[in-house]
Amino acid sequence: MSERKNSERAKGFSLLKIVPSKSRGKLVTVLIPVVFFAVCALLVNLGVLRSHFAGLLVPLCYYIIMAVSLNFTVGILGELSLGHAGFMCIGAYVGGLFTLLTQDSITSAWIRFPIAILLGGLIAALAGFLIGVPILRLRGDYLAIVTLAFGEIVRNLVQNIYLSRDKAGLHFSFTNAIEPERLDPATNVDIMKGPMALNGISPDATLLISVILVVITIIVILNMVDSRAGRAIMSIRDNRIAAESTGINITKYKLIVFSLSAFFAGIAGVLFAHYSTVSPPKFDYNMSILILVFVVLGGVGNIRGSIIATAILYILPEVLRGFQSYRMLIYAIVLIVMMLLNNNERFNAWKKNTTERLTAWRKGLFRKKSGKEAE
């Protein structure tokens, strides 16, 4: 984990020389998804990639947002959250409900969707803040298990909400379906019906908006990591007691991380709601673990790694259909092997050695090239 910082700061392409060297790594991280999605969109439009592949692009966007935001908590703050799907669930329901309730009155998606995104993100952030205040006294295993409990509670509560609308206005009920007598049958529209899926949300999550949100997420998180606050957060991760004794306000920074991470998970949820069908079982513990696998494979604390790992782990099983039975097994092995290797001294030494050799090789390559150009 020690080279985390270095890899973020690693020198970029020679083409990027105009950009101050400090920001080059960041720029590359932002450019990777932009270029990838641009190429994909082009290929889809040219008809090279078929509808199956085209249908994977928006989901990939919200999973990247999920992975990057989870990595902020797990990699930068160093606390394991097993309830990330809970925040996504809140975002999906808040954003989805907002659109369902307003899509008749606000017809322009260009006005409605940004509000839904902001609202979903903010409410999720609020939930992150609220759950953060009490549990921040906890650490490590306890914090992980409480976030797991939180995720399950959110799902359990959402599953029990009944909401419908008739000419008299909105009707709400908890744990029991709304009594038919309370509703006007002619004008009644069920909006939320316990465990039933939320249907009819206008599919506003286009690839363009999704990619823009991915870029915003990456930029905000990378800048956060690189800021004064980011350094304070990482010092908490590396040595909490030392950080505390130098006067760093641990509670404040933990709250910032929790809320920001939840905010982006909420946004991912809003995108999800406007692309796929929202139903509570989707946001269970397994979803949180799935995102965790993306983060772990990409490298804990490595934002760029999260992006690439998400792309690989989401698209590969889809393209290679037929391996599904073994997919979860492979995920499990990935988790264990990554952790064992990361904590294996010999492997770390080998990795460092290889990286150095690769860097040297690349430098030599560029030197030759630029020499040719000069001729």
Partner 1 sequence: MFISYLLSGISLGAIYALIALGYTMVYGIAKMLNFAHGDVIMVGGYIAFTISVTLGADGWIALLGSIIFCTLLGITIERVAYKPLRGASKLSVLITAIGVSYLLQNVALLIFGSASRNFQALIVVPSVEIGSVTIPGNTILTIGVSVVIMIVLTLFINKSSAGSAMLAVSEDKGAAQLMGVNVNKTISLTFAIGSGLAAVAGILMCTQYPNIGPYTGQMPGIKAFIAAVFGGIGSIPGAMLGGIAIGVIENLSKAYISTQLSDAITFAILIIMLLVKPTGILGKKLNEKV
Partner 2 sequence: MKNVKKIVAMAMAAALCVVSLTACGGSSDASATFVIGGSGPLTGPAAVYGIAVKNGAQIAVDEINAAGGVNGMTLELNFQDDEHDAEKAVNAYNTVKDAGAKVFLGTVTSTPCEAVVEKTKVDNMFQLTPSGSSVKAVQYENAFRICFSDPGQGTAAAQYIGQDLGLKKVAIIWDNSDVYSNGIYEKFKAEAANAGLEIVSEQSFQGADNKDFNTQLIAVNEAAPDIVFLPIYYQAAALILQQANQAGFDLKFFGCDGLDGIIGQLEGDAALAEGVMLLTPFVADDPDEKVQSFVKTYQEKFNEVPNQFAADAYDGVYVIKAALEDAGVKDASVAVSELCDLLKASMVKITVEGVTGTMTWTADGECAKTPMGMVIKDGNYTAIAD
Shortest Å distance, C-beta 289 to partner 1: 6
d(CA 72, CA 77): 7
Residue span binding partner 1 (CB under 8 A) among the ranges 17-25, 139-147, 162-170, 200-208: 139-147
- Yes or no: say if 182 and 171 are a contact pair by the CB < 8 Å rule: yes
Please state the closest distance from residue 306 (CB atom) to partner 1, in A.
14
Residue 192: CB partners within 8 Å, gap ≥ 6? 93, 97, 161, 162, 163, 164, 198
Q: Do the Cβ atoms of 298 and 309 come closer than 8 Å?
A: yes
DSSP string of 56-68?
HHHHHHHHHHHHH
Q: Closest approach of Cβ 133 to partner 2, in Å?
A: 28
Q: Using the 8-state DSSP alphabet, how is residue 177 labeled?
A: P
List the single partner that 365 binds among partner 2, partner 1, none, CB under 5 to 8 Å by kind: none
What SS3 state is found at 189?
strand
From the list partner 1, partner 2, none, which binds 241 (C-beta under 5 to 8 Å, kind-based)?
partner 1
Binding of partner 1 by 340 (CB under 8 A): yes
Span interacting with partner 1, options 200-208, 284-292, 303-311, 312-320, rule CB under 8 A: 284-292
Q: Which residues lie closer than 8 Å to 302 by C-beta, 6 or more apart?
A: 4, 7, 8, 71, 75
Q: Which of 146, 216, 220, 315 binds partner 1 (CB under 8 A)?
A: 146
Binding pattern for the stretch 10-49 against partner 2, x by CB under 8 A and - elsewhere: x--------------x------x---x--x---x----xx
CA distance 115 to 137: 34
| Residue 180 binds partner 2 (CB under 8 A) | yes
Phi, psi of 174 (to 5 degrees): -120, 135
Q: In whole angstroms, how close is the CB of 274 to partner 2 at the nearest point? A: 12
Question: Which of the residues 156 through 215 are near partner 1 (CB under 8 A)?
Answer: 156-157, 159-160, 175
> Should residue 114 be labelled a site residue for partner 2 when binding is judged by CB under 8 A?
no
Q: Which of 42, 196, 336, 337 binds partner 2 (CB under 8 A)?
A: 196
Q: Is 193 left (phi over 0), alpha (psi -120 to 50) or beta?
A: beta
Which element (helix H / strand E) includes 119? helix 109-135
List CB contacts of 73: < 8 A, sequence separation 6 or more.
Answer: 79, 80, 81, 84, 257, 258, 261
230 is a contact residue toward partner 1 (CB under 8 A): no
303-319 and 324-342 are packed helices; what angle lies between their axes, rounded to 10 degrees? 160
Beta bridge partners of 167: none
Of these, 19, 315, 330, 334, which contacts partner 2 (CB under 8 A)?
A: 315
344 contacts which partner out of partner 1, partner 2, none, CB within 5 to 8 A by kind? partner 1
Is residue 281 a contact residue for partner 1 (CB under 8 A)? no
Site residues (vs partner 2, CB under 8 A): 3, 7, 10, 25, 32, 36, 39, 43, 48-56, 59, 156, 159-160, 177, 180, 193-197, 199, 203, 276-277, 279-282, 304-305, 308, 311-312, 315-316, 318-321, 324-325, 327, 351, 354-355, 358-359, 362
